[in-house]
Amino acid sequence: MNTPHTQTLRLPSAATILFLFSLAISLVLLFAPLHAFLNMQSARWISAFSIVLSYVLFTQTVLLSHRKQHSKAATSAPQQQDDICIVYASQTGYAEELALQTDSSLRLAHCRTRLVDIDEVTPELLQQSSRILFIVSTTGEGDAPDSAARFCNQVMAHPLSLSHVHYAVLALGDSHYQSYCAFGRQLDHWLHQQGAQLLFDRVEVDDGDDGALRHWQHHLGLLSGHTELPDWHQASYQDWTLQSRELLNPGSLGNPVYKIRLLPATSNVYWQAGDIAEILPQRPDQATPLPHREYSIASIPQDCAVELIVRQMQQADGSLGLGSGWLTHYAEVGSKIALRLRSNRSFHPQNPARKLILIGNGTGIAGLRAHLKHCEQTQSTGHYLLFGERQSAHDHFCKTELEHWLQQGTLEQLDLAFSRDQDERRYVQHLLPQRAEQLRDWVTQGAAIYVCGSLSGMASGVDQALRDILGDETLEALREQGRYRRDVY
């Protein structure tokens, strides 16, 4: 690893040698008997060119070395000239957002950085980097984000010599889950086993905890030598207008589910299918700030509104959930909702020529509906939706739209599982074995699988059914190729 110190010494001496060498050539050309054989005029041109070239090289390298010394003095960061590699693994976009903020903070402090999705990390990249910041979340039940599948299966599966690497881990998680920050901890442990050395202790962020994030920013300040770096500001919330609220499941055995339509204050808002709306709930009787809640966006920008499909949750004492209660009950139609959009790249649309196998249950229809709307808008046809709810008579969300897509060709096939329409419980994952051959065919022909809805029950049931049908290896390969994507909660 080259420290700036060694570089500053090496560069001027190289320039000096070049300068002296060119000067010598010039003198030889000017005065040596070679003139006897060369045209006098061209010899003079060569001499003049050599002098100018050596002068330019000399001044540029001296200037460069001055700049380096100056920035080193300004930041007093011992390894400032080395690229700092920022690797992120994100399931729903938060780790990616923090990686971007980390990147801008370090750049503000004149550090050279390289931002890399974990999907692109190879053993060579690790071996070529001397300082790496990992920003990784945990998803599922203690799992790595889907984008880390290849890294886990191929890179972490083999020993590597990383004793030259200095690293830190920002582990995102939520302590309500049993395997808190499991992937961040596992990654930290693996790096340690490979001989990598800590820049500072792992920072664990419990549900976006501000204190932990300030702690990380403090370390970035120390690392870059700029402790006065400005605080991070999360994208601010905008006031959106609650235009309408429509009950989707009158008479349902389950909690009420509403389609919520929200209008932006300005026309220059943009999002993609798969993105997430974060809302700041309020309580009519409370002034204290409440934590945000996340909802899959069920519409596309061409709808000129963000639509959400929200199930009203209840606490054991009967009081309504903070976010769903605010959206489905307390906020009045026509009132303002504090909302911000979050990009969720791992659930974005991809190649429109690819057929989609969309699988979901309950409010998971939200994310899948946005994809179907995107398909309709881009005239991409022939997709397959498998969806599960409780009773066909009450919980057939978006029935008219789904039938329209089926008629018009956006959907080639629609399979529904209503768990309470018959005696034995039948969920969406139970549809999959019946379609095993067709699923294998579609996947062989390049289809991608998108899953949206409940983590408990549905996501693991679907995952197991897909493993049984396609095999572990194929499913892992699909995950690595971005052809098995999930937005489950």
Ligand X SMILES: Cc1cc2nc3c(=O)[nH]c(=O)nc-3n(C[C@H](O)[C@H](O)[C@H](O)COP(=O)(O)O)c2cc1C
Kindly list the residues in this chain that would bind ligand FAD in the complex (CB under 6 A).
92, 276, 293-296, 309-311, 313, 315, 321-325, 363, 366, 487, 489
Stretch that binds ligand X, among 8-16, 62-70, 134-142, 403-411 (CB under 6 A): 134-142
CA dihedral 202, 143, 100, 70 (to 10 degrees): 30
Q: Are 416 and 392 in contact (CB under 8 A)?
A: yes
Tokens of 298: 């069920």
Does the protein bind ligand X through residue 489 (CB under 6 A)? yes
User: Among residues 62, 110, 180, 241, which is the contact residue for ligand X, using CB under 6 A?
Assistant: 180
Cα–Cα distance, 452 to 468 (Å, whole number)? 20
Q: How far apart are the first and last CA of the chain?
A: 43
Residue 460 touches which member of ligand FAD, ligand X, none, C-beta under 5-8 Å by kind: none
By beta-carbon proximity to ligand FAD, the closer residue of 111 and 276 is 276
Interface with ligand X includes 174 (CB under 6 A)? Answer: yes
Find the residue with minimal CB distance to ligand X: 173
The binder of 324, among ligand FAD, ligand X, none, by C-beta within 5 to 8 A per type, is ligand FAD
Nearer Cβ to ligand FAD (306/322): 322
Task: Look up residue 391 and give its two tokens.
Answer: 């009773």
* Smallest gap from residue 366 Cβ to ligand FAD (A): 4
- Asked whether 387 and 360 are in contact (CB, 8 A), the reply is yes
Instruction: Tell me the C-alpha distance between 350 and 370, whole Å.
Output: 13
Shortest separation between residue 455's beta carbon and ligand X, angstroms: 4
Of 117-125, 170-178, 376-384, 388-396, the window that binds ligand X (rule: CB under 6 A) is: 170-178
117 binds ligand X (CB under 6 A): no
Residue of the chain from 35, 117, 177, 229 that contacts ligand X (CB under 6 A): 177
Closer to ligand X by Cβ: residue 184 or 349:
184
Q: Encoding tokens for residue 412?
A: 């080639």
- Cross-strand bridge partners of residue 167: 132, 198
294 C-beta neighbours (distance < 10 Å), count: 15
**Shortest CB 191 distance to ligand X, Å:** 19
**Per-residue mark of binding to ligand X, 441-460 (x: CB under 6 A):** --------------x-----
| 177 binds, options ligand FAD, ligand X, none, Cβ within 5 to 8 A by partner type | ligand X
Min. distance of Cβ 165 from ligand X in angstroms?
A: 23
| Residue 229 identity | L
Q: Does 234 bind ligand X (CB under 6 A)?
A: no
φ, ψ of residue 39 to 5 degrees: the values are: -60, 125
* Contact with ligand X (CB under 6 A) among 58, 94, 240, 271: 94
The amino acid sitting at 29 is L
For residue 169, what are the CA distances in angstroms to 153, 203, 309? 20, 6, 35
HSE-CB for 284 with a 13 A CA cutoff: 9
| 182 touches ligand X (CB under 6 A) | yes
Please give the residues from 369 up to 408 whose contact with ligand X meets the rule CB under 6 A: none
140 binds, among ligand X, ligand FAD, none (CB under 5 to 8 A by kind): ligand X
The smaller minimum CB distance to ligand X, of residues 142 and 457, is found at 142
CA distance 221 to 357: 46
Does 90 bind ligand X (CB under 6 A)? Our answer is: yes
By CB under 6 A, how many residues form the interface with ligand X?
Answer: 24
Q: What is the DSSP letter of 386?
A: E
Name residues contacting ligand X, limited to 39-58 (CB under 6 A): none
Residue 405: contacted member of ligand FAD, ligand X, none (CB under 5 to 8 Å, by partner type)? none
Question: Which entry of ligand FAD, ligand X, none binds 180, CB below 5 to 8 A by partner kind?
Answer: ligand X
Q: Looking at beta carbons only, is 396 or 486 nearer to ligand X?
A: 486
1 within 8 A of 130, measured Cβ to Cβ: yes
* 90: partner contacted, choices ligand FAD, ligand X, none (Cβ within 5-8 A by kind): ligand X
Q: Tell me, what DSSP letter sits at residue 122?
A: -
309 contact choice in ligand FAD, ligand X, none (CB below 5 to 8 Å, kind-dependent): ligand FAD
Q: Which of 75, 179, 194, 460 binds ligand X (CB under 6 A)?
A: 179
Going by DSSP bridges, is the β-strand pair 383-389/411-418 parallel, antiparallel, or unpaired?
parallel
In one-letter notation, the amino acid at residue 90 is S
Contact between 180 and 174 (Cβ < 8 Å): yes
343 makes contact with ligand X (CB under 6 A): no
Residues with Cβ within 8 Å of 251's Cβ and at least 6 positions away in sequence, in order, are 393, 394
CB of 295 to ligand FAD, least distance (A): 4
Q: To the nearest 10°, report the CA torsion of 140, 144, 149, 153.
A: -120
DSSP state of 367: H
CA 436 vs CA 154, 249, 466: distances in Å: 28, 31, 9
Distance CA 364, CA 383 (A): 17
Can you tell me which of 141, 239, 403, 473 binds ligand X, judged by CB under 6 A?
141
**Least distance (Å) between residue 102 CB and ligand X:** 13
Note the residues at the interface with ligand X (CB under 6 A): 90-95, 137-142, 145, 172-174, 177, 179-182, 455, 488-489
